[in-house]
Amino acid sequence: MNFLIDNNEVFSVDTGKNFDPKKHSIILLHGSGQSHVVWSLTTQFLSDQNYNVFTLDFPGHGNSEGDSLKTIEEMAEWLEKVIIKIGINNLTLAGHSQGCLVALEYANKFPEKIKNIIFIAGSYEIPVNESLINLAHSGDMESLNLMMKWGYGNSKQFIGGNPLQKILNSSREVIEVLSVDLKACNNYKNGLNAVKKIKCPTFFIFGESDKMIKLEKGKKFSGLLPGSKVHVIKDCGHMIILEKAFEMREKIVEFLKK
């Protein structure tokens, strides 16, 4: 499913089905330097549960046109344009890592349409190591290796190939996509204020061995929202959507159907 936002084509995987306004809608938000590809084990599964599922590529990412957005606030405003364009009035936002910040800021700015939020390997802030930002800013492909070494609970789990290297194929893309995303995450400071405005049900999924969003910090985030549900996946790092997609997606459906 492709459509125009600000004269740029936006790509979204919608499992080949037309939007049904009678169904509940789920929007999946990817993390830094990523695209719809990382949700490949989840999109069809959720669609088969009778939901409208939209897996978006942010501007400049994957198959979407335009420049990468420079702030989390801009990403949230862009997301509202997408939601208006599709015609969604009742939705679940599910974000991974940077996508959690976007979902958080969207809830801060546009709370009316949100039924619930699912935060996967997220926090209300994601400070990024300055050395990693500098590597990405210089277009050094080693930044992709560093991210995945820190991103996986066990680096051997991506022996079939670094998934980021399958999305970002050149130094230019690292500079124009990953570098911009990392800076956006690092610069986002409104998380604690945004949390206070969330009134809808929330579900948190954490990796027990996450080195980017350590479990203690993640639980601090979930603790800010009384009544939130939490699931911790054992033997899993930050890349839950790839490492433990089957367990993750089943827990998402359990949450949505309660």
Q: With bands split at pLDDT 50, 70 and 90, how would you rate the model's confidence at 150?
A: confident
How many other CB atoms are there within 10 angstroms of residue 118's CB atom?
Answer: 27
How many other CB atoms are there within 10 angstroms of residue 226's CB atom?
Answer: 7
Q: What is the DSSP string of 149-190?
A: HHHSSSGGGGTT--GGGGT--SHHHIIIIIHHHHHHHHH---
Structure confidence at residue 3 (pLDDT): 86
β-pairing verdict for 25-29 and 8-13: unpaired
Q: How far apart are CA 191 and CA 3, in angstroms?
A: 30
pTM: 0.95
Structure confidence at residue 13 (pLDDT): 85
Based on C-alpha coordinates, what's the Rg of the chain? 17
pLDDT tens by residue, 4-43 = 999 999 999 865 457 888 999 999 999 999 999 999 999 9
* Secondary structure of residue 126 in the 3-state scheme: coil
Query: Does residue 51 contact residue 181 with C-beta atoms inside 8 Å?
Result: no
Q: Inter-axis angle of helices 179-187 and 72-86, to 10 degrees?
A: 100
Q: With bands split at pLDDT 50, 70 and 90, how would you rate the model's confidence at 152?
A: confident
Task: Answer whether residue 160 shows pLDDT above 70.
Answer: no
Q: With bands split at pLDDT 50, 70 and 90, how would you rate the model's confidence at 108?
A: very high
Domain boundaries, the chain: 2-127+188-257
Spell out where the chain has E strands: 2-5, 8-13, 25-29, 52-56, 91-96, 114-120, 202-207, 229-233
Structure confidence at residue 162 (pLDDT): 75
CATH of range 2-127+188-257; options 3.30.360.10, 3.40.50.2300, 3.40.50.1820, 3.50.50.60: 3.40.50.1820
